Amino acid sequence: MPETQMLVYGLNTESADLVHISSCKSGLSELVCPQCRTQLIARMGSQNTWHFAHYNPERQLTENSRSCSYSKESELHLAGKHLFNRLVQDTGLLRLPEFTLTYKQIANSPALSTLTKNQKNFVLAKAGTNPEPSTGVSFPEVSHQIDHCELEPTEGMEGYRPDVQLSYRGQPVAYIEVVVSNDVSTKKMRHFHHQRIPVLRYIPAGKLLMTDEDMLGKAVKQRVDLEWVYHPIESSLPDSVFGEMEQFLAQREETRKQVLKNTEQGSTFSDTHLLQPDPVTWYEANLREGFRKKLEGHYQSSTGASMSNEMKAKAAHLYFNNKNYNGGITYLELARMLKF
């Protein structure tokens, strides 16, 4: 370990707690390095910054301590995990922040896999009426009791362990991912979605490593700011997302039948009303498949992204209003109108 590396916390092997330098007496301690388990000595002089150093009685570091890679980043990550141990001990409460369901979360929800195409289009069209990130579906901040904290649990994790598991009366309440440099991986996210347990992100501040005060104890008395990584409602979706779906689809079917009846009778009945409130369905039903593929392919090559339902709705309106102009509108003309 480089001589410039100064540890602020040592590990108590009996309690598995981190102990701050300010809680110790100068000299040899009973604490060990959290990384290599070498005994630590507390250096608390009047001239230099207080810190722990690896104990080296014979000026000969062991192989473990010589190769110890414990860094400030490692220590900050570990301190962030142990903060939740303190949270259980000192408050017994976990604050779950307000959660707003986004359009992307609705579109990717497994709850849509059982719907018909028309039902899915209705849900997405309804969610898309509000600009991101709001979909009109949100849940207020709540506090949940916690009585146990386990760091990097292994049981039932199938190799993808969260940094922290918080429980109450033996039941998991939430997983916490402590993020210093690397965010939650895609594989880990898929595993968390499968378990349907809340996952939150905690980004520890550098002040946790202050040497003159135990900031872990102070931090839990203040607001511990967490961010949502995964909320279980993403997998099931609330009833409000599906509200009025069956009623709307039944009315749309009646309208379709009326249009066909009027057409057979030679009526000039207009279908402009079919654009609302579900222009995405109109887009997919009335634009030829080849036309749509060319338009969406042009959008993909221009933007590098798939065509959103919001863009499809705009395309439906523009196509409908211009479909009789000069013998019909081409996909390139429509793309120019959509400005891509």
Please indicate whether residue 61 or residue 73 has the higher confidence score (pLDDT): 73
Express each pLDDT in 161-181 by its tens digit. 899 999 999 999 999 999 988
- Of 49-53, 127-131, 246-250, give the range with the top mean pLDDT: 49-53
* Residue 149 exposed, middle or buried by CB count within 10 Å (0-12, 13-18, 19+): buried
To which H or E segment does residue 171 belong?
Answer: strand 171-178
Among candidate residues 211, 241, 271, the one where a domain is terminated:
241
Instruction: Decide: helix, strand or coil at residue 229.
Output: strand
Residues 81, 66: one domain?
Answer: no
Whole-angstrom distance, CA of residue 44 vs CA of residue 23: 11
Indicate whether 4 pLDDT > 60. no
Confidence at 256, pLDDT banded by 50, 70, 90: low
Task: Indicate the average pLDDT of the chain.
Answer: 81
Name residue 206's amino acid.
G
In sequence order, what are the residues at sequence separation of 6 or more whose Cβ sits closer than 8 angstroms to the Cβ of residue 134?
A: 100, 102
Q: What is the mean pLDDT of residues 297-318?
A: 87
Residues 135, 266: one domain?
Answer: no
Residues 187, 44: one domain?
Answer: no
Give the least confident one: 117-121, 143-147, 148-152. Answer: 117-121
Residue 4 domain flag: no
Residue 151 domain flag: yes
* Helix, strand, coil % over all residues of the chain, rounded to 5: 45, 20, 40
Residues 97, 138: one domain?
Answer: yes
Residues 38, 175: one domain?
Answer: no
Residues 140, 213: one domain?
Answer: yes
Q: What is the mean pLDDT of residues 69-83?
A: 84
Whole-angstrom distance, CA of residue 176 vs CA of residue 193: 14
- Of 31-35, 122-126, 190-194, 220-224, give the range with the top mean pLDDT: 31-35
Residue 119 domain flag: yes
Residue 1 domain flag: no
Among candidate residues 22, 39, 70, the one where a domain is terminated:
70
Residues 215, 301: one domain?
Answer: no
Residues 89, 181: one domain?
Answer: yes
Residues 61, 201: one domain?
Answer: no
Residue 3: the pLDDT is 41
Q: Which domain holds residue 51?
A: 9-70
Total domains present in the chain: 3
Residues 113, 152: one domain?
Answer: yes
* pTM (predicted TM-score): 0.64
